[in-house]
Structure 1
Amino acid sequence: MNKPDLSLEELADANKSEFDRLFATQMALGTPIATGGAAQTLTSPHLTEKVTDNAPSAVGPHITTLLTDTYAKAWSYEIVEHNVEPGEVRVLCRLTAMGQTRMQFGTAVNDGNIGIALQRATDDALARCHADLAPNTHADFVSAHGHQSTPQVPGPGPTDALRQSEHISRVRKANTRAGDDVEKSVPYIVETALRSARGEMEIVLVRSAMSSGIRLQRDAGTMIADANGHLLVGHTETDLPKMLRASMPDLAPGDVILHSDPYSPGGAGGHLNDWAVVTPIFLGTRLVGFSSAYGHMTDIGSESLGSNSVTTHSIFGEGLRVPPIKLYNNGKLNHEALAILASNTRAPAANHNDLMTLVAATKIGEARVLELCARFGEQSYTRASEILLEQAHQVMRAIIPKYFPIEPQSFEDYVDDDGCGNGPFRLKVTIWREEDKAYLDWTGTDAQAFGPINLHLQESTLQNLVSRYLLRRIDPEMEPSGGGNSLFDITLPEGSLINAAFPAALGSRRHVLGRLRDVINGVFSHSADSLVVAAGESNQGLLTFIPEDATQGIALTETHFGAVPARSTADGIDGPSWEHTTKLYSVEAMEHQAPVRVDSRRCIPDSGGAGSFRGGNGVATTYQFTAPGALSIQDDRQTGQPWGIFGGRPGSCSEKSLTTKNGERRTLAPKVDRLPVYSGDKLLYAGPGTGGWGDPLRRPVEAVQKDVARGLTTIVSAKEYYGVVIDSDTGTIHVEETEALRRRLLGSPGKRSHFDFGKKTATES
């Protein structure tokens, strides 16, 4: 394994707002020894900065804190080597404690933020080393809770056993809270291992899938649950306990469940294209958990290629519905079910491959859970899972009184239209708390739409979403689990836009789901202003191009994003998806797959709302079609701007236009179904920007100057919104004019609004 040196450009591209910390982390990898107890101090001549204390904790106490509690100052670690790949970061660590040494690999998913991925992989390696140094801690852990367990893995040799016995004796003498250490150690190791397992599952999905939706855009996800179906790590839109009670009471080893119907008990994905696979995990004949994966299928039938019609008004027009069925029964593949699935798609090979990829991903999760049971014992693993859920419950009990108000407070936002000429549609939520119980009441949300923008939300899905929202803003490394769900009381009015009644169409639910996140964010702005961000693009537009002649290429389906909004500590990020794992399609892959040419893909200057922290700019793509075909678009935020907050200005709206090869230009509606296009026609698809945070006149003039130099803000906007006068020839700041202009603008009458929705919208009607 090599030890590559990442360039500064690579680090900066990973996440520009994290540049300094990423650089410090990279420098730390060149420092051989980190002494126990104290934070690692860099000895580079260029930096003298402590990085361990600044690194975010993965879950609960950081592993270095755990090691210090266990070994006092008698430990150190060395990063021997590391390897960074597009999907995974791998680190080899050497841990020395109490005179003993262990080496282990640690892995983490590379989600683009290399510094955090390196820290996660290091934490994983240290946790594994710690487990090897004290392999018998699981027995103490079980005994502390009234259980007994026999290890199911081969024990160490006589010499190693003696050394380990002496080591544990020294640890107990040095720390009288051995039971507490074990209490912390095993759940931490289990959760770290589960997070790593989830990462492996996602790597299998991305690398093995055939369809571009999963392989290139990562429209997929994984999760691991306990034996009751409660979420431990990952993400799901299924209420697994409800689904199991209603549809799968007789599970056995070797079973694998497939489902896709949002209207079945417990639901599935948000729409029919999302297929979910669930594998029950048995240790012998005893159920110990569940492993699940979902992914967006290329085509599931219906009138529309890709099964994403903009104008469908019933789920019966959206493709094949799959209630919970056993794809594998006692290990035997259900070939009859496969035949039905293959008969209801225009892409049987891609769907079959992706379905088997989902199964393979769940088998990775199953194998890793069984390894944990073998390593620590079944009862230790079960108790560790219980503690993780209990910890999540305790964390949420502490968060709710801090961020939920006693008096009810409300917020609302709007979706432009439903694709069938109706709209706008309102989403409204009211929140409050009673002691440590949190209430979210969506009464006031409009009735379900005629078009396919509806949601059929499971209560558990919204509970997980709110948990994720709160935890990620307090600690970006914390993963929500199902432990705190019982503390949320959710009211979802039946027949509403977010709890549509059967058989309402759901295929374009992405717009309502995105706006729902903005509404949750907005309602917390009065009670938790330090947590909230401005409005995001909250949209995930979808472009589908279907060639007239199938021999000239297959359908192109691309998801579009706006940007990440501004927050209280940093600017928004230009271009990427905010709350999703999906990403923009590779231009090279797109042009290879379909008869299109991408003339340009660029950041849109001034599209991010002005603020003391600037909103993220949207992305504009110009496509030129090289063959005739049909075009469909599902988009939003074309009339309602992403709002700014605390004096910040709103982001720009999205825009779509078609220019024929003869030069005639027409503006397109946000939702278009099967529009004929011809060779030489050009489509401009401009995504929305995101809202700004805080008064633009408080933004440092140097930051405005840098934005202008980078092409993110124009000279005109710098003067109009930020009060900064910049020379158009030299790019220098006219200091005296700037100071005078800012004094005048700051002294002008007019109150800064809590929200700035921009031009007149339904919220002001």
Structure 2
Amino acid sequence: MVLHERQELPDFVREHDIDNVTLDIIENALKNIRYEMDRVLVTTAVSPIIREQADEFPLIADRQGRMVVGQFGSPVDTVLENSPYRVEDLKDGDVIATNDPYMMEGSTSHLPDILLVRPIFYEGDHVGYALQWGNLMDVGGKTAGSIPIDARSIYEEGVRMPPVKLYDGGKLNEEVLRFFCHNSRTPRETRADIMAIAAGTAAGAQRVKDICDRFGKETYLEACDALLDRTRTSIINLMRQLIPEGERFEFEDYTDDDGLGNGPIKLKLAMWREGDTLHLDWTGTDAQVPGPVNFLLNHRMFQMFAGVFLISAVDPTILFNDGYSDVIKVHIPEGSVLRPKDPAPLSNRLVVMARLFDVLGAVYAKAIGFNVSGSYGTSPNFVYSGVKPDGEPFQTMEILYGGIPAIPGKDGLDGHSWWPEFLAVPAEYMETYYPMIVEEYAARRDSCGAGQFRGGCGIRKVYRFLSDGRITYQDDRAHTYPYGVAGGKPGSPSKKTLIRKSGETVELPSKVSDVPVFEGDRLVFETAGAGGVGDPLERDPEAVARDVRWGLVSREAAGSEYGVVLGEDGSVDAAATESKREEIRASRPEPPAFDHGDLPPLAEQRRIIAETRRKFNEWLSHELGTARANGRG
């Protein structure tokens, strides 16, 4: 098929009193502001999840609160609606802070994410907002890291701060900051990170003022309107070219469980186009669950996700912003796992968010008429906390990554985040600041979904603990598989193994809280691989041989999955490979369009998940009792 080509829009130019050259300069200046805000934050924050991994997102909004550059859509309107402040009362130097997802309509999705909103003024006139949020290490709650697996309400997950002024006319509100940090297990890191986020918004505001200095306030405001309109026009063009009108496309997939033994949890999405309006409807998605995997999905955020998917897959030159929010209509049933009611717990929402992307990608695959990608692996959080031998308390948090799915024409990335700017925490950093050794960090062999273009491998990370403490993590895809498409195979599920110093081995579920670990214990943390695209028997044999050399695919899988026969020196035996592939083709059934793997019936999955959680709870209760009896953990 012919993909979208960027079109000139002469009618658009006549609608706005700004020339294309000036508009392009301002667009790129705004993009650079985003990057500068990123750099200010990650180089001044101190916690690894921000400083090393860049789990933070900036945006610049216009004076109406619409996102002009950013990623998640602007929450300005909902923040102000839930605050005592009116737009006309705001002044230069004000910064509003909040971390309550329910008071932001899910613009940030769990309590460790704190958002700062700074109005921007130029020569006394309000011209926009600079916003930034970051993932803090800890905001209180019942478990270190504020991601308790067994929470049944948001009150167990940490302190909730409604929209309040962190800065009032440039003056820091020390009492607000002190109160918030007092409720954190990591007050030093929390204070430093919040101040770093504030510095990021200050940098963004100053650079917007610099644009106004250069081009004039009115030109800047006109450029914001024009950039929003240009993106809207481009998205409409993409929808007209790629999505048939009047047809309904549906897909559903499952998150494993909620951490309390309830699952699998279904996400179902339908999409159709009516003229220049794209409809996305989550009717049929399961109701909210007792455990904390609920994801409070902001309507505008999902509009962004839907548009970004088109932009990233087809035309990355388009600037994504709130300009197209009126042409994408979203319905999310109230009380569903994507729209839970306050005070439902939210701390482990990441697993449902990942599945949301899988479902959205599959619906687009059906609508566009070619297979966009397979399914993502996993992106879990991991927390290790305790007291060092010298008596100093410690707590670390990091995000780990799984395989990125393949797309037509390209293999998936190994051990990567969905968010391209996220990074892994260096082993040297972890070993320097925390009592642990990272014994291994590698791509997980044979976890990638086979295909003409293979999915990305998950990762295998082995921690050795040097102090007694506790671990908490949330993951998924242990009971379900990251699907493959168009003949591609699913990726391997995730797996966690605790190896005691004594040699005892314990298989852990994908979500745990406060598991005691002791000096000398090891944790083998394996994330899921991603789905492949296309028939594995159509993969270039030399690419398979390369994957074997690199340790991504075993020789056995090269033969059984790809039909590639290798000689002792690792070279491809062409004749034997052709024969092997013909043998496999003759014996296999027709592959499904979406391959979810060999899963048991849904009722049996529910039984297995509930029984797995019951057995783990019994084991954990015994371990905690033993640790207390021995004065450890």
**How much has 1:724 moved relative to structure 2?**
1.1
Alignment-derived partner of residue 519 in structure 1: 359
CA contact (8 A) 1:638 1:653 kept: yes
1:668 aligned partner: 508
Matched, 1:202 2:38: yes
Q: Which of 219, 222, 225 pairs up with 1:380? A: 219
1:542–1:146 Cα change, 3 Å:
closer
CA apart distance, 1:573: 1.2
Which residue in the other structure is 2:569 paired with?
730
Matches of 2:73 and 2:231, distance apart in 1 = 19
- Cα deviations by residue, 1:631-659 (Å, 9 ceiling, x for unpaired): 11211111111000000000000100111
Identical aligned pairs, as a percentage?
37
Partner of 1:138: none
Q: How much has 1:580 moved relative to structure 2? A: 5.2
Q: Among 465, 471, 488, which residue is 1:625 paired with?
A: 465
**2:497 paired with 1:657:** yes
CA distance in 2 between partners of 1:579 and 1:529 (Å): 25
Q: Over aligned residue pairs, what C-alpha RMSD do you find?
A: 2.2
Shift of 1:337: 1.4
Give the partner amino acid of 1:615. G
Report the CA distance between 1:246 and its aligned residue. Answer: 4.6
Question: In the alignment, is residue 355 of structure 1 matched against residue 191 of structure 2?
Answer: no
CA contact (8 A) 1:268 1:276 kept: no
Q: Is the 8 A contact 1:639 1:761 kept in 2?
A: no
Query: CA offsets per residue over residues 201-259 of structure 1, 9 Å max, x none?
Result: 10001100011111011111100011101111112365222333453312122211111
Unaligned runs of 5+ in 1: 1-55, 70-140, 148-181
For residues 254-309 of structure 1, the C-alpha deviation after alignment (integer angstroms, 9 at most, x for no partner) is: 21111111111544411111011111011122111110111011211112122121
Letter aligned with residue 30 of structure 2: L
Partner of residue 248 from structure 2, selected from 403, 408, 414? 408
What is the identity, as a one-letter code, of the residue corresponding to 2:161? V
Is residue 2:63 matched to residue 1:227?
yes
Q: How does 1:181-200 map to 2 (within 5 A)?
A: 183-200=19-36
**Residues 73-84 of structure 1 correspond to what in structure 2 (within 5 A)?**
none
Alpha-carbon deviation of 1:347? 1.9
Question: How far apart are the structure 2 equivalents of 1:392 and 1:468?
Answer: 11
Q: Is the 8 A contact 1:254 1:328 kept in 2?
A: yes
Shift of 1:735: 2.1
Distance 1:718 1:764 in 2: 34
Contact 1:261-1:322 within 8 A present in 2 as well: yes
Distance 2:35 2:467 in 1: 40
Shift of 1:186: 1.4
Name 1:615's counterpart in structure 2.
Answer: 455
Q: 1:321 to 1:228 in 2, by over 3 A?
A: same
Q: Which runs of 5+ in 2 are unaligned?
A: 605-633
Contact 2:231/2:318 (8 A) holds in 1: no
- Quote the Cα distance in structure 1 between the aligned partners of 2:157 and 2:139: 8
1:761, CA displacement in angstroms?
5.0
Can you list the C-alpha shifts for 1:562-599, whole angstroms capped at 9, x where unaligned? 12111101111111112353222110110112111111
CA distance in 2, matches of 1:468, 1:228: 22
Alpha-carbon distance in structure 1 between the residues aligned to 2:602 and 2:310:
26
1:303 equivalent in alignment to 2:145: no
Give, as a single letter, the amino acid of the residue that structure 2 aligns with 1:335.
E
The equivalences for 1:741-760 within 5 A come to 741-748=580-587, 750-760=589-599
Moved more, 487-496 or 745-754: 745-754
> Per chain length, whose mean CA-contact separation is higher, i.e. which structure has more relative contact order (CA < 8 Å, sep 6+)?
2
Q: Distance in 1 between matches of 2:603 and 2:270?
A: 19
Q: Does 1:344 align with 2:180?
A: no
Report how far residue 384 of structure 1 moved.
1.0
Tell which deviates more after alignment, 411-420 or 594-603.
594-603
Q: Equivalents in 1 of 2:7, 2:61: separation in Å?
A: 19
Q: Counterparts of 1:187-586 in structure 2 under 5 Å?
A: 187-236=23-72, 238-247=74-83, 248-249=85-86, 250-405=89-244, 406-530=246-370, 532-537=372-377, 539-549=378-388, 551=391, 554-579=394-419, 581-586=421-426
| Cα-to-partner distance string for 1:424-477 (whole Å, 9 max, x where unaligned) | 100000111111111111011001110111111111010011111110111234
Q: How far has the Cα of 1:332 moved from its partner?
A: 2.4
Deviations 1:177-221 (A, max 9, x none): xxxxx6211111111000011111100011000111110111111
**CA–CA separation in structure 1 for the residues paired with 2:600 and 2:276:** 36
Instruction: Look at both structures and tell me which one has the larger radius of gyration over its CA atoms.
Output: 1
| Residues in 1 aligned to 2:73 and 2:441: alpha-carbon distance in whole angstroms | 32
Matched, 1:702 2:538: no
Aligned-partner Cα distance in 2 for 1:576–1:671: 20
Deviates more, 1:233-242 or 1:672-681: 233-242
Residue identity opposite 1:740 in structure 2: S
Post-superposition offset of 1:605 = 1.4
| Mapped partners of 2:551, 2:219: distance in 1 | 56
Give me the TM-score of the superposition, normalised by structure 1. 0.75
- Whole-angstrom distance in 1 between the partners of 2:532 and 2:457: 10
Letter in 2 for 1:605: R
Query: CA offset at residue 349 of structure 1?
Result: 2.0
- SS of the residue corresponding to residue 111 of structure 2 reads coil
Question: For residues 469-495 of structure 1, what are the alpha-carbon distances to aligned partners after superposition, in whole Å with 9 as ceiling and x for unaligned?
Answer: 110111234331000011011111001
Q: Aligned with 1:680: secondary structure? A: coil
Q: State whether residues 403 and 524 of structure 1, in contact with CA within 8 Å, keep that contact through their aligned partners in structure 2.
A: no
The alignment partner of 2:516 has SS state of strand
Alignment length (residue pairs):
595
> How far apart in 1 are the matches of 2:247 and 2:576?
47
